[in-house]
Every structure is written in C-alpha cells, then in structure tokens.
Structure 1
C-alpha cells in the first residue's frame, strides 16, 4: 500500500471551457492526471476523487442574498461582515446563521465571503467528473481490480467547503461539516499521498491547509503535484501563504513527470 492519489474537484464546471466556473489550465491538468493514471496504473494503489456539490440556494450563490431593492449580487461579488451588518447585503434564508457565518469566516483570516457563479449543482453535468479523468479511472479499475473512492463536499448550504477534510465553518449539528477523520485514516495507510486537482488557489490550497492543521500524520506522506493544478484567474495570491507554509513544513513539491522516477 504505497501510493495514493487525492484528486480534488476535477469536475466539468471547473475543468471544461463550457463549465460554469472554468479554471484556465484545468483541461491540461486533467490530461496530465489521466496520463499519470494510465502510465503508472500498477504503481497507484488507491485513488480518492472529491466532488464539489452544491444546491442552488447556497450561501455562496447569488439567490441566497439580496439588497434593500431586492437585487441579487453578481457572481464574484465579495460580501464582508461590515456589508452584512450595514444591511448592504441581506441573507434570504437562515439569516442569523448566515450573518454569523460571514463573521466567523472573516475572523478565520483565510477567506472572506465571495459569491460564485452557480456551479457543481447536485445532479448536474457540471458536478460530474471530467470525461478525460473518468475514462482513465475506469481503465485503472480494470487493470487493478480496485474502485476509486468518490467523496462529495459542499452540500451543506450555510458554509463553504473548499477543503475536502471539513467545512470552512463547521456546524456542530451537521456531521458532514466536521473533520473527516475516516478520510484521514484511509490516507494514512499509504507511504505517499499525491495531491492534485482544482483549483490551486482554493480547494487544493485549503485541502493542503487542513492537512497541515488537522492531519499532521499526513504531512510527511504528502506530495503536491505542481503541474496538475491551476488557479482561479486573478486569485492565485489566496493560496500562496498556504504553499509557503507547506514548503516550510517540508512537504514535497514535484512535477508529474518526476513522481515515479
């Protein structure tokens, strides 16, 4: 049980030019991941794919909020705690929890609240794995007689769930927002855990941050595959401090061509 792949959110909406939240470069990332899986099937002992999955009325989607005139925020609108306190943006659902969430998220210091295009909607094409990756996974399963593991995140509508291991602001009454200790235990079985996927600036970065913070046993096993991830355009700076921390913690960073040398 030597090598595991942890592939973050390699889905249509992020990885296809027609996707709702296309990440430039993601198509090439997926192609490199698929090539790795095909060329090194016998060396890859476990594959976990994560699936960002949302409802329409999600706290990070436009329809969740309105202003005093009833207008919804446009995608890519930031919403600060000050905006909420001043009534510039008003939550339409679970108002008290939503206001507290924005404050808690901001206090955490990593991300402020942000409105995204509706993406990875449950049951939609956008929530599915990119076809290029899916075909490679099917071939790997046939070669190794193993199934890949798929883990959904993001269905709780009152918190972002960038990192795979827990929601940004866990709710003590909602189990799927809590730290996923079973996933940590699953990955602890392997000597190397190769991290890749989309987007480098957000869900990959935050998954990495959660390993650094909550799963120190995985840190010496972790390998970040640098050419199998890309940033949301213009937002790469959000992940930079996390990758710097990882380098300081001696996490390994390699390109895909070098991981099985």
Structure 2
C-alpha cells in the first residue's frame, strides 16, 4: 500500500467561518468551515489508506509583531486590522509599537524587519489577534478533530501536531520556517525534520487554511527546500482550502503556476475514490 501522508495546515476555529456556539472567530476565512467538513469526510471514508497525518497549529501570544493590537497610529490608537505598514510609515511615526517603553533596540529591529520585507517584495499586514494560546480559536475545527480522533483509533497511530508562530518578533505563515528566521530561535529556522518526514511519503495530500497565505507559503517552501522528487508526490486538495477575502485572484494564479509545474490539484471526492480501494490491505 502506498505511503500516503496528509498535511493539514492551521485548520483552526479562528479561521473557520462557522465555529462552536458562542465563539466568534478572529480571522474567519469564507468557506473554511465547509473545507473542514469535506476534509473530515475524506478522513472518515479513506482514513485507512492514510499512513500518517501532520496537523499544524498557528500559535500566537497576544503580543505579536503582526497583530494590530501591538501597534499605535500617530493618534495613539490601534490601527484597524489589515492595515499595511511600510518602513517609511515607521520612520515617519505614522505607526509605532504599542510597547511601553519602547527600547532603541526594538525600534531598530522593527525598522530592519520592515526593510527586509520590502527587499523581499512582501507587504507587512497587521492581523487581528488570532489563534491565541489557550483560547477556543487555537483549537482544531471540532468536526475535523473528531475525524482525526477516529483515525487515531482505527490506525493506532497518533496525529503529529506542529505548532508555529510563538516567536513574537517574526511572522510564521509556512509550516516549515518563519518569514525572517530568528537566529536565536531554532523553532523559526527551516524544519528539516518535517521535510524529511514529508519526503518519505509516496503521496502527500495538502489541505488547510488559508490557501492565500499559510498553505501557499508552505507549498512554496516544500518546493524550494524539499527534495526534487517531492514535487511529483504533492496533491493539493483544492476543495479543502480557501483564500482570505481579497486574495482570490492570487490563489488562482498560484494554482495555475502549480499546474504548469506538473503538480496535481484534486478534490477530496476524487481522492476518496482513489484511496478507498487502498483501505483493503489484501
């Protein structure tokens, strides 16, 4: 039987547009809840053909460089979520850290960080605080969590959980590395151990949230840092991921680029039909 691995990126309550009663998601992605239901159904239908599951968890403290609540405008109020901050904004005082007092070293770090992002042609976006440690938003979508628990019971294997994002001074979209790794924090460096696990697969299914950010950057890092043969093993489950609003066109362009590279894009229903015969080990 083929070694099929499933990599689930950040399928957490704070990204779902439907959540447990009484909880308001911090950063809902339109369509994410239905994505989780389809993924849960695939795991229930074809779980015995899945040899291993890795689920990443976006994991943040309240104080975080990329949270809007960690910044102040020139008027002394928190900027709205999704504001974009440039190095010029920072130098001009249009945006400043909300830390009190701010040290010269912190200001120098932030300026250097913003300048590095601009050299990389990346925007710096301020997100609402999300996936905070210890909150319901940090947990996996409950229907998906139930399917994974059932998978563990049936296969007698644990789901591998990988947290990312705890470093408050850098962004961590990809499951493999921070945008700008912190030399003093190994957790922000390229996760070679995870790459090795992925490389051992015969087929690597990828799902999760959001297709425009964490999923996209994880796939990009796999292609950049993974073994060359890993490319032919990828299967992107297009109906088990959705983009953040406003980034739909960028995701379609990314999917077009993946197809041009020979990377397979499929639906969960297509993969279920393909995997179900593999449930029978004889």
Per the normalisation by structure 1, the TM-score is 0.95
Give the greater-gyration-radius structure (CA): 2
CA distance in 1, matches of 2:258, 2:97: 36
RMSD of aligned Cα (Å) = 1.5
2:31 equivalent in structure 1: 25
The alpha carbon displacement at 1:67 in A equals 2.5
**After TM superposition, which residue ranges in structure 1, 4 or more long, deviate above 6 angstroms?**
none
> What secondary structure is seen at the aligned counterpart in 1 of 2:57?
strand
Structure 2's unaligned 5+ residue stretches are 19-23, 100-105, 275-282
Q: Given that residues 17 and 31 in structure 2 are in contact (C-alpha distance below 8 angstroms), is that contact kept between their aligned partners in structure 1?
A: no
Alignment length (residue pairs): 260
2:140 equivalent in structure 1: 129
1:10 equivalent in structure 2: 11
> What secondary structure is seen at the aligned counterpart in 2 of 1:201?
coil
CA distance in 2, matches of 1:209, 1:123: 30
1:145 equivalent in structure 2: 156
Tell me: CA distance 1:239–1:156, structure 2 relative to 1, closer, same or farther (3 Å).
Answer: farther
CA distance in 2, matches of 1:220, 1:82: 42
Q: Given that residues 205 and 243 in structure 1 are in contact (C-alpha distance below 8 angstroms), is that contact kept between their aligned partners in structure 2?
A: no
1:96 equivalent in structure 2: 108
Per the normalisation by structure 2, the TM-score is 0.88
Q: Given that residues 201 and 237 in structure 1 are in contact (C-alpha distance below 8 angstroms), is that contact kept between their aligned partners in structure 2?
A: no
CA distance in 2, matches of 1:57, 1:237: 31
CA offset digits 1:174-213 (Å, max 9, x no partner): 1111100000001111100001110011111111111121
Structure 1's unaligned 5+ residue stretches are none
Q: Given that residues 202 and 238 in structure 1 are in contact (C-alpha distance below 8 angstroms), is that contact kept between their aligned partners in structure 2?
A: no
> What secondary structure is seen at the aligned counterpart in 1 of 2:213?
helix
Tell me: CA distance 1:243–1:172, structure 2 relative to 1, closer, same or farther (3 Å).
Answer: farther
Does 2:85 align with 1:79?
A: yes
2:131 equivalent in structure 1: 120
The alpha carbon displacement at 1:241 in A equals 4.4
Give the alignment partner of residue 223 of structure 2, picking from 194, 212, 217: 212
2:269 equivalent in structure 1: 257
> What secondary structure is seen at the aligned counterpart in 2 of 1:4?
strand
